[in-house]
Amino acid sequence: MNKQESYIYGLLITDGSMYLDSRNRGKVTLEVTEKDRDIVEKLVTIVPNSYIHKRERDTNFKKNYKSVIFANYQLEFRQFLIECGFPAIEKQ
């Protein structure tokens, strides 16, 4: 794993999540506050076939909380992370 891959892995394992579903479907996501949008934008330029989603919701702590979500649905990316030891949540 190179330096850039190590950074991405560390960021995702700390604040991201991976969901696995049947027939090799699933996703890797990372949700951050709107003010940290630059992190997600950088990830999308580095990790092929990734997307940015926006979300606005009320939380226990703040009304109209705005966040930005990095999402990747590629099997190859999930397999790479799993090979590196990334824990995944299997859908029941």
Q: Convert the pLDDT of each residue in 28-74 to its tens digit.
A: 999 999 999 999 999 999 999 999 999 999 989 889 999 999 999 99
CA separation for the pair 71, 49 (Å, rounded): 9
Per the structure, the count of domains in the chain is 1
| Contact in structure between 12 and 86 (CB atoms under 8 Å) | yes
CA separation for the pair 79, 2 (Å, rounded): 17
Residues 6+ apart with CB under 8 A from 31: 15, 55, 67, 68, 69, 70
Give the predicted TM-score (pTM) of the model.
0.86
Helices assigned H by DSSP within 20-74: 37-46
Structure tokens at 34: 């709107």
CATH code of 31's domain: 3.10.28.10
pLDDT band at residue 92, thresholds of 50, 70 and 90?
Answer: low
Upper half-sphere CA count for residue 78 (Cβ side, 13 Å): 20
Range of the domain at 72: 3-90
Q: For strand 26-33 and strand 65-72, is the pairing parallel, antiparallel, or unpaired?
A: antiparallel
